[in-house]
Structure 1
Amino acid sequence: MSKTIDLFTPFELGSLTLPNRVVMAPMTRSRAGQGEKKIPTTLNAEYYAQRVSAGLIITEATQVSPLSTAYANTPGIFTAEQTAGWKLVADAVHQQGGRIFLQLWHAGRVAHPLLHPEGATPIGPSAIAAQGQTFTPQGMQPYVTPRALELDEISEIIHQFQQGAENALAAGFDGVELHGAFGYLIDQFLQDNANQRSDRYGGSLENRTRFLLEMTQVVTQVWGAKRVGIKLSPSNTYNGMADSNAVETFSYAIDALNAFDLAYVHLMEASEADLRHGGQKIPTSLFRPLYKGTLMVNCGYTKATAMTALSENNADLVSFGNLFLANPDLPERFRLDAPLNAPDSATFYAPPCNDSIENCGFEKGYTDYPFLQSPTLEHSH
C-alpha cells in the first residue's frame, strides 16, 4: 500500500531534494532596490534566510531590464551590482541549508513612465493599456497606453531574460522561475485581450504561445530544464487581463510546456477578486492530466486544503504567500498545528511610516514577525 503524500513528504525536484512540499511563494514586498539602482540589501538576505525551512523559496519578481519597473523599490537582475546584491541573498539562504529560485520578471504594459529612466513609455504586445493604477513618486497614477513592440524588438526582450537567467546563475541561485502570470509581459502575449498582433506573435494559439515558449527555450539553455519553473494564472483578471477562451489557451500552453521537462509549472488559481471581476474558476484538476511534470499550486491554501490537494494528486507542491510572509517558520507551525501570526496587510508593500512611529524602517512587517520558539511568544501581529 502506497504511503499517503502530505506537506511533510520530501520531494525530488530534479537534483534538489526538498525536505517538505511547503513552498514560499514569490511576493512583491517593495523593500529591495532602494533608489534607481534596484539593488537587494542585507535586509532582504535576512528576510529570505529567516524562511529557509521552506521546501523551496521563490523570490519576489525581479526585473530583467530598466524598462520593466511596475512598482517602486523592487529589485533587478540586469546589472553587476544587482547580481552581487542577490548573491548576498542566495548565500544567506544556503548558509542556513535552504533552497532558492529567483523569479524573472518583465512588467510590460504594467509599468509607468515615472518609474522608467528618462520617462520611457512602457512596452507591450499591443498598444492596449492595463486597467487600474500604480504607485509612483507622484502618487497613484493610471496606467498609460504602452508602445507596441516592433517585431525585431521581441528577440531583444528574450535576450534580456536570458541575461537575467545568466546573472541569477552567477549569483548562486538553485534555479529560476519565469513570471508568466498576473498580466505581466509573458501573460500579455498569451491572452488575447492584451495581444491583438497580426504577426507571428499574435492571432492563433500557436502564435500567442510563441513568446512563452521561446523564452522558456533560452532560459532552459542557461540553467537546464530541471532548474526552471514557470508561473501561470489561467483565471487571473488582475491588471485587466482576460481571454476569450482561457481554458483552451492555457490548456494549449501547458501541454506545449511538456516538451521542456521543466522543474515545475506553478498555477495560480482563481481568487475571490478574480471571480468578482468576471474571471472563470478553472480548477487545477483540469490541467493535471495535461501536464506530465511537477505541478505547484497557489491561492489561499490552508494546511488542510493543501493536504487535500496533495492527497488527491491535484498537485505535487503547494506555495504559500501571506502565511509565509507572516510566519517565517510556517512548516514547523503546520507540523505542530500551532497558532499562526496574522499577516499585517498595512505593511505588505512598505511600512506605514509617519512621525508617530519610532524607528520605522523597512524591517517593520518584514523581518520582525516572531518565530514560534521566541521566548516571548506572540501568535498574532
Structure 2
Amino acid sequence: MNPLNHLNFSGGPGALPESVLLQVQQSIIAVPEVGLSILGISHRSDWFASVVAELEGNIRELMGLPEDFHVLFLQGGATQQFSMIPMTLLRGKPHPAEYLHTGYWSGKALAEARREGAIRVLWSGEASGFRRLPGDEELAYSPDAPYLHYISNETVEGLQFHRVLGRDDVPRVCDMSSDFLSQPCEAERYSLIYAHAQKNIGPAGVTVVLVRDGVLKNAPADLPGFLDYRSHAQAHSIFNTPPVFAIYVVLLITRWLRNEIGGLSRMAEINRSKAGLMYRRLDDSHGFYRGRAETQDRSLMNVTFNLATPELEQRFLAAAQAAGFSGLSGHRSTGGIRASLYNGLTLSAVEQLTGFMEDFQRKAG
C-alpha cells in the first residue's frame, strides 16, 4: 500500500466509495447535466430541485418508507436534532420523555431535552463504562411517555442495538447517524429518524430527517421557523440556503447503494463481512487485542479495542499510520483504538488492516 494514499478508518467523516469520489471530482469542475461547478449552482435552480426530489425518492425506495413520512435535508447535524426533537414532541407535555443513556452521544442529547421539559433516563450504562447495552428485561417503558429516544449505534463505545426498542403505542425517535443506510430498517415502526451524513452517506453539512406527518400536525404552533420541521417540509428542504454540495454527494451515494451495491440487504452482508473479519482478529489474538464492547452488543460500524498498555497502543497507532491506515485513534473520551467500517470502506481495506494487526502482534511478541 502506498502510505500517501491512506485508508480511512476514521469515526467521521468516513470513507466515500471510489466511484462516488470520481463523480464528485468531475462535478467540482462541472456537473455534466449543467456545465457549472457544483460549488456554484443555485439552490433555487430547477436542477437542484430535481436533485432533492430524486434523493427523497431514492431514500424512500431504499428504506421502504411509508407514505406518511416526510424526508428532509437539514443543517445543524445531530446536535441540532437534540433540541428540535424535544421542542416538537416534549414542550408542554405532562409526562416525561424517556431516554436511553448508552454512550457519549446519547448523553449529549439529555441536557438539551431537559431544556424543554422533564425526561426520564430509562437506563444508563455509565456505571459499567458503557461496555454493554440493556436487555429487554431491564427496560420498563411507560405508556404515557410522549416519546422514547435512543441511539441505534454508539460510535465512541462501539455498541449497536440489533433490535427495535420500545412500545408500539409510544412514538419512537432514533438517532441513526452512524448506521443509517448500512442495513435494512423497520422504518415503519418509528415516528422520527435522523442521521447526519458524515459516517455512511456523504460529507458533513447535511442531516437527513425522516418524520411522520402526525408529528408535524401535533407540533407546537410557536416554534421558530428554522427549528420547525413544518417549515422545511413545506419548502421541500429549501427553506433557507441548503448545503447543495453535501446534498448532491448524498444523492450519488444513494445511486451507488441502489445501482452498484444492489440495495441495503446486500450492503448489510458486506458490512457484516467486514465486521466479522475485525472481530475474528480480536478474538483470535488471545487477549493481545481486547474488545471493548460485550460480544452481543458489538457494533458492525465501529470496532473498539485496547492493547495491554497505553504505550503499546501508541506504538500500534504510529505503526498503523506509517503503514497507511488513518483514523484509528479512539475517541478522546475513551482512548484506545477504533476502526470504523462505514459503507464506503471496502472489504479489501479491512483485510489489509487485519493483516497488519496480525503482523504487529507477531512482531510485538
- Decide which structure has greater helix share: 2
TM range (shorter): under 0.3
TM-score (norm 1): 0.26
TM-score (norm 2): 0.27
Higher relative contact order (CA 8 A, sep 6+): 2
Larger radius of gyration: 2
